[in-house]
Amino acid sequence: EKGPFPFYMLKEINEQPAVLRRLAQDYLDESGKPVIEPDLLAALDQADRLYILAAGTSYNAGLAAKSVFETLANIPVEVGLASEFGYNTPLLSKKPFFLFLSQSGETADSRQVLVKVNEWGYPSLTMTNAQGSTLSREATYTMLLNAGPEIAVASTKAYTAQIALQTILAKGLGEKRGVKSAQDFNVREQLGLVANGMQTIIDEKDFINQLAQNYLATTRNAFYIGRGYDYAVSLEAALKLKEISYVQAEGFAGAELKHGTISLIEDGTPVIAIITDARVASHTRGNIQEVRARGAHVLTIAMEAVADKEDNLILADIDPLISPLLSVVPTQLLAYYTSLNRGYDVDKPRNLAKAVTVE
């Protein structure tokens, strides 16, 4: 039930802090150590490469988690679009492990890869919100997102739940492998900080609605820019805006602007910049100057540690490695309000179904 919310999407955005707290409860013991099926950890430990396969928002959750696995668990990761991977399979490593991300567990593009993976005899894990779903039944292992039903076609809480659960898994694997960065990463504390930070953003939703009105009310296109972790989240931010508000939106790696993209910027073009990582903050700020000089209407979302007083939205400080968990929330709200203010059916965008069961 939607309760006091006009649309499921807003309800599901609001549920994200609780979803993260529940994941921490379900998958961490009292001392904050991940509780993961030993057979699954052993199989992952033997793998020399992790292949993450998914579609749409779940694919974007894989992109956001690539650095998390590589940093915390010291395992090389390849993230693939399931629809491409099955028919254009890259050369596989000697001991691959396959991770399927799927909210519904029914996505046909992902399933066709899993069928092949099973024929090849490789181990697999499905992370899904749907117990007993096809992808869950057919994979070797399953981890449930426990996010509660996601009804809105635009996926929100599944994205953050997938990143959080992958982070817990990466921490568990890293500890098993004795990786120092995993030992040093306090996943329980970090997820708590994220949940609180999400709540702060959600409490500012009326202000975010104003920003949506100021920047996105009538535009036909918009750009998200960022580097590294902020680039990964830019892709999801753009997908959300496209999907429900029908704005032609794209996420760009900040540095790529000068390699062609910047020619798209005109007077008044909305450019939303995400800045969470000190290593690249000043470079992204440089990219902001470049687009501003060409007339862009720039909105900035920055993490406190790297924020300027002119930034429009400030995110609480968390480890930048998992910043997409937090930085995605204002972009979900920007998409939501843009769609709402244009009078669209936010939960049921045209031409789309919640689960895509054809290839």
Q: Is 294 exposed, middle or buried (0-12, 13-18, 19+ CB in 10 A)?
A: middle
Of 14, 126, 142, 155, the one binding ligand M6R by CB under 6 A:
155
- Residue 324 touching ligand M6R (CB under 6 A): no
- Residue 81 touching ligand M6R (CB under 6 A): no
**Which conformational region is residue 47 in: left (phi greater than 0), alpha (psi within -120 to 50 degrees), or beta?**
beta
Q: How far is the CB of 108 from ligand M6R (least distance, A)?
A: 9
Token reading at 74 = 């010291």
- Residue 160 touching ligand M6R (CB under 6 A): no
Of 10, 15, 44, 57, the one binding ligand M6R by CB under 6 A:
57
User: Are β-strands 297-303 and 313-315 bridged in parallel, bridged antiparallel, or unpaired?
Assistant: parallel
Of 14, 16, 58, 338, the one binding ligand M6R by CB under 6 A:
58
Are 135 and 114 within 8 A, CB to CB?
Answer: yes
Question: CB neighbours (10 Å) of residue 269?
Answer: 18
Q: How far is the CB of 232 from ligand M6R (least distance, A)?
A: 15
Number of residues forming the site for ligand M6R (CB under 6 A): 15
Question: CB neighbours (10 Å) of residue 42?
Answer: 11
- Residue 83 touching ligand M6R (CB under 6 A): no
Q: Which is nearer to ligand M6R, 9 or 36 (CB)?
A: 9
Q: How far is the CB of 237 from ligand M6R (least distance, A)?
A: 11
Are 24 and 192 within 8 A, CB to CB?
Answer: yes
Stretch that binds ligand M6R, among 25-33, 49-57, 115-123, 137-145 (CB under 6 A): 49-57
Using CB under 6 A as the binding rule, the residues of this chain from 95 to 114 that contact ligand M6R are 102-104, 107, 110
Residues contacting residue 45 through CB under 8 Å, at least 6 positions apart: 173, 176, 177
Residue with nearest beta carbon to ligand M6R: 56
Q: How far is the CB of 161 from ligand M6R (least distance, A)?
A: 11
> Is-catalytic flag, 354?
yes
Using CB under 6 A as the binding rule, the residues of this chain from 221 to 250 that contact ligand M6R are 243
Taking CA atoms, 210 is separated from 142, 255, 341, 352, in Å, by: 41, 29, 10, 28
Residues contacting residue 58 through CB under 8 Å, at least 6 positions apart: 101, 102, 103, 107, 110, 155, 158, 159, 162
Of 9, 24, 36, 55, the one binding ligand M6R by CB under 6 A:
55
Q: Which is nearer to ligand M6R, 316 or 355 (CB)?
A: 355
d(CA 172, CA 40): 11
State the catalytic residues.
354
The contact set with ligand M6R (CB under 6 A) reads 55-58, 102-104, 107, 110, 153-155, 243, 355-356
